[in-house]
């Protein structure tokens, strides 16, 4: 039985199994390539979500500590201050600022990662197809 397909769905496939679809690669290698791309995309989105969650936790705890300090701080005119005069809150403000920037860029990465994109090579292939 030469010429018959082993799988009935293979006979109905629009792309024959011996043709190549991506830069001369066979279909099984192309499929593995796209599976690896999907896995890497999922890992990138997962790490971005994890970074965003950690950043939100940092923003919450540091913001709460800074809020407590600002509510309970008394100026030098009071005789019994709760906080020392030389208490430095610059690191906390720096932590809040950097966490806000990281949260913004994590949201940006997640937003760009879930948007559908058209690659340059497919645009070229489409333009060549219609120009013929």
pLDDT tens, 4-39? Answer: 444 444 445 444 454 445 566 567 777 888 888 889
In percent, how much of the chain has pLDDT > 90? 38
pLDDT on residue 51: 96
Kindly state the helix (H) or strand (E) to which residue 21 belongs, with its residue range.
Answer: strand 20-22
Kindly report the pTM of this predicted structure. 0.63
Mean pLDDT to the nearest integer, 64-75: 89
Band of pLDDT at residue 55, cut at 50, 70 and 90: very high
Does residue 131 have a pLDDT over 60? no
Cβ-contact 53, 60 below 8 angstroms:
no
């Amino acid at each position: 039985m030469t010429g018959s397909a082993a799988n009935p769905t293979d006979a109905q496939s629009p792309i024959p199994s011996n043709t190549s679809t991506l830069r001369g690669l066979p279909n099984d290698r192309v499929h593995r390539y796209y599976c690896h791309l999907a896995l890497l995309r999922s890992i990138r989105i997962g790490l971005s979500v994890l970074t965003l969650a950690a950043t939100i936790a940092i923003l919450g705890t540091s913001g709460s500590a800074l809020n407590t300090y600002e509510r309970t701080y008394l100026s030098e005119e009071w005789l019994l201050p709760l906080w020392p005069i030389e208490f430095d809150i610059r690191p906390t403000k720096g932590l809040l600022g950097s966490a806000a920037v990281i949260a913004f860029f994590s949201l940006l990465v997640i937003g760009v990662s879930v948007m559908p994109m058209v690659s340059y090579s497919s645009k070229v292939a489409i333009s060549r197809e219609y120009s013929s």
